[in-house]
Structures are given as C-alpha cells and as structure tokens.
C-alpha cells in the first residue's frame, strides 16, 4: 500500500504551492516519447459475441460514424469575443467583487482577454486529451485479450482520430491560439501509457479521462451559444458516452476476479488520475500568461467565485458513479471512498453510471448528415 506522497508526489493533496511547482518545461518540443510497456496479445478465439454487451456496442459504433469535415458546418463565423461575453453573462461572473485582490484592477477588456485565453486553453487541453485517447485506444487494440473488445476498440481509434481532428480544426480556424499540454494532464497521460497492465489503460482513459470529458463536454454544450461548438460537442459526446460504457462494461467483468491487493492498486491509480485532473483545471498557464501572481489569482477565484468550485466538482459527476459500479469505491477498506470524500466529490456516487447511458446520448436518425 502506498502513501499519498508515493501516489501523487506530495503528502497534502491540496498543497497549492506544490501543485503549481509542476510545470511543462517542454513547451517547444513537437514530439514527446513515452515507453509503452505492454505485450501485444493475439487471441485465436474469434468467437464474436462471446461478450454480448461489447458486441452490441461495436455494432452501434459501426452505424454511428460521422465525418468531421462534412457533418459540421465550418462556414459558421465565430466571434470569440461575443462568445465569451455570453458565457460570462450566463456565469454571473460580472457580479463578483474582486476589490482588494490581485484581480481588483482588471477592467472589462482584461476580463475579456482572460476569458478568451481561458477558452483557448480549455479546448487545447481537450485536444491533447483526445490524442491521449487515440494512443490509449490503439494500445488497447493490442493488449486486451478479448476479440469483442479488440473490435470495439478499433472503432474507438477512428472516433478519437476524428475528435483530435475537429478540436484541432476548431482551435486553428475559429479560436485565437493553442496552448501546449498542461503538465498535470501530461503526467497523467504518460502514466496511463507507461502502465503495462491492459486494464489500467481502460481505467485511466475510459473511466477517468473520458468520464471527466463527458461531464465537461456536457456542461460546455449546455453553456455555449456558439452553434458550431455546440454541434461539435454534441457529436463528440455521442461517441464519448460509448467510450465510457466500453470501459465500464469491460472492467466490470475483469475486476470481479481481482484480489483485494490488486483492486487497491486500481483504487490508487484512480485517485492519482482524479487529483491530476483536478489540478489541471486550475489552468495555471492562463494566469501566467495574464501576468498575475498565479497562486494569489487561483486562491481569489476559488474563494470568491462559487461557480468555480461547483464546476470543478461537477467534472466528477460521471467518474464517481462509474468507480462505484466497478466496485472500486468500497473495495478493501473503502479507501477510494475516503479519498473522494477528501477531495469533495463523493456526493456524485448515486448519479447514473455510464454502462448503458450511451443509448441516451446517441445521435437521432437524421441528425448525422453523412450517415
């Protein structure tokens, strides 16, 4: 069993100074190499449908493909300033008093610039996360021992290529500058790829990263008034819901056979991932670019903007019920339940899990132009 320090590199999960000390020092590199420590597994058991839930998901994926170039209306002009102004209004940000803080001197223009940077940052991190998913899913094709899972994972590889493609295009054509990968996200993606155990790829990617993405995309989809981004997120979410279901359905079977000690490893990994993702949403690079003392700014926002905390917690709305469904919350001495309580997200445990939810997210007949 590991200590908090062994798992996340610091003993206090909320130590802001230590969190901000982690930065991306590799911002100019074009290539990043990670050891993929896993065996490629062939199976000679080709019996399709041995796992009916995965087969159903695979058949569903085959008929749910869309084309990022032609199904989205890229002719829509995006006025980013107007978009962030509408978001700020919806967020009631204008009503917060920052007097006497490092943000006290910011005028309307500075807040607009911040909101634009923040949107560039947010969509950049989603793009990088999507590439993480592309790589992880290709790895799952190699490492998972079940033919139904290999088939399904192959469709997810295509989905993720499309997601990277549309986020990159949106950032490039419609927004105003991409950010390098956030250091906390990068650490997490590296750790997922480095792990040799096939189920850890699923746990890190399908359950944690994609679980968070599904919640965040849902929130952004609801919030934004920009029709192209709304449509893009709608399409991506219909795929993401299947991906999270793939994780839940695969791991549910596998985790039923694991020992307490093996489950504890998975609990620790889930906790590490949760902390990394929470840390990344402090968007330290944006505050840095705005030229304010980063730690002060983050503290001020956390204290004075109630929506901020709600948003950060809401990101766990899919992860916690899915961990519960997998038996990870209460395995052993309920170690993960205690950790999720500590970081303030345990209240989501009874929300619907994502094993079947993909049906609800599916695109309706006629919603996809090219289908």
Site of interaction with Fe ion (CB under 5 A): 130, 133, 160, 163, 210, 240, 243
Q: Is residue 45 classed exposed, middle or buried when 0-12, 13-18 and 19+ CB atoms within 10 A define those classes?
A: exposed
Tell me if 312 sits within 8 A of 139, measured CB to CB.
no
Q: Which is nearer to Fe ion, 263 or 319 (CB)?
A: 319
Which run of H or E residues covers position 267? helix 260-280
User: Shortest Cβ distance from residue 206 to Fe ion (Å)?
Assistant: 8
Q: Which is nearer to Fe ion, 212 or 263 (CB)?
A: 212
Q: Among candidates 246, 264, 234, 259, which has minimal Cα distance to 322?
A: 246
C-alpha 214/C-alpha 220 separation (Å) is 10
User: Shortest Cβ distance from residue 210 to Fe ion (Å)?
Assistant: 5
User: Could you give the C-alpha distances from 148 to 81, 112, 155, 251, in angstroms and in order?
Assistant: 46, 48, 11, 14
**Beta-carbon neighbour count of residue 313 at 10 Å?**
16
Q: Which is nearer to Fe ion, 235 or 316 (CB)?
A: 235
**Beta-carbon neighbour count of residue 311 at 10 Å?**
16
**Helix locations, 175-197, DSSP H:** 183-194
Q: Which is nearer to Fe ion, 133 or 263 (CB)?
A: 133
User: Shortest Cβ distance from residue 358 to Fe ion (Å)?
Assistant: 11
Q: Which is nearer to Fe ion, 243 or 318 (CB)?
A: 243
User: Shortest Cβ distance from residue 245 to Fe ion (Å)?
Assistant: 11
User: Could you give the C-alpha distances from 304 to 17, 112, 129, 213, 299, in angstroms and in order?
Assistant: 20, 18, 29, 25, 9
C-alpha 189/C-alpha 206 separation (Å) is 12
Q: Would you state the structure tokens that stand for residue 83, as one six-digit string?
A: 């978009």
Q: Which is nearer to Fe ion, 172 or 225 (CB)?
A: 172
Tell me if 241 sits within 8 A of 354, measured CB to CB.
yes
C-alpha 223/C-alpha 66 separation (Å) is 23
Q: Which is nearer to Fe ion, 246 or 348 (CB)?
A: 246
User: Shortest Cβ distance from residue 130 to Fe ion (Å)?
Assistant: 5
User: Shortest Cβ distance from residue 53 to Fe ion (Å)?
Assistant: 18
Q: Which is nearer to Fe ion, 134 or 147 (CB)?
A: 134
Q: What angle do CA 75, 214, 58 make, to 5 degrees?
A: 90
Q: Among candidates 67, 45, 66, 48, which has minimal Cα distance to 57?
A: 48
**Beta-carbon neighbour count of residue 259 at 10 Å?**
10
User: Shortest Cβ distance from residue 164 to Fe ion (Å)?
Assistant: 8
User: Shortest Cβ distance from residue 205 to Fe ion (Å)?
Assistant: 8
Q: Among candidates 166, 180, 346, which has minimal Cα distance to 240?
A: 166
Q: Which is nearer to Fe ion, 264 or 280 (CB)?
A: 280
User: Shortest Cβ distance from residue 355 to Fe ion (Å)?
Assistant: 16
């Amino acid at each position: 069993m590991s200590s908090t320090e062994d798992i996340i590199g610091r003993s206090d999960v909320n130590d802001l100074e230590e969190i901000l000390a982690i930065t991306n020092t590799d911002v100019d590199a074009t290539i990043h190499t990670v050891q993929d420590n896993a065996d490629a597994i062939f199976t000679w058991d080709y019996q399709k449908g041995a796992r009916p839930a995965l087969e159903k998901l695979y058949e569903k994926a085959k008929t749910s493909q869309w084309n990022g170039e032609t199904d989205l209306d890229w002719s829509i002009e995006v006025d980013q300033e107007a978009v962030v102004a509408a978001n700020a209004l919806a967020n009631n940000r204008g009503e917060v008093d920052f007097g006497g803080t490092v943000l006290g001197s910011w005028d309307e223009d500075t807040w607009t610039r911040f909101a634009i940077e923040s949107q560039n940052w947010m969509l950049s991190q989603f793009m990088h996360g999507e590439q993480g998913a592309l790589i992880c899913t290709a790895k799952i094709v190699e490492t998972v021992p079940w033919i139904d899972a290999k088939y399904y994972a192959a469709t997810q590889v295509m989905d993720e290529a499309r997601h990277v493609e549309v986020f990159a295009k949106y950032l490039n054509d419609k927004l105003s500058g991409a950010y390098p990968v956030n250091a906390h996200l990068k650490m997490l993606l590296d750790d997922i790829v480095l792990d040799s155990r096939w189920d850890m790829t699923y746990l890190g990617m399908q359950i944690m990263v994609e679980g968070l993405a599904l919640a965040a995309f849902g929130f952004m989809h609801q919030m934004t008034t920009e029709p192209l981004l709304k449509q893009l997120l709608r399409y991506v979410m219909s795929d993401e819901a299947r991906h999270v279901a793939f994780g839940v359905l695969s791991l549910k079977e596998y985790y039923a056979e694991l020992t307490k000690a093996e489950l504890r490893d998975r609990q620790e990994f889930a906790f590490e991932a949760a902390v990394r993702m929470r840390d990344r949403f402090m968007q330290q690079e944006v505050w840095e670019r705005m030229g304010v003392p980063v730690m002060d700014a983050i503290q001020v926002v956390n204290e004075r903007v109630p929506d901020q905390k709600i948003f950060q917690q809401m990101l766990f709305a899919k992860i916690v019920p899915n961990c519960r469904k997998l038996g990870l919350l209460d395995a052993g001495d309920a170690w993960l339940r205690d950790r999720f309580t500590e970081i303030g997200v345990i209240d989501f445990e009874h929300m619907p899990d994502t094993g079947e939810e993909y049906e609800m997210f599916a695109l309706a007949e006629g919603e996809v132009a090219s289908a």
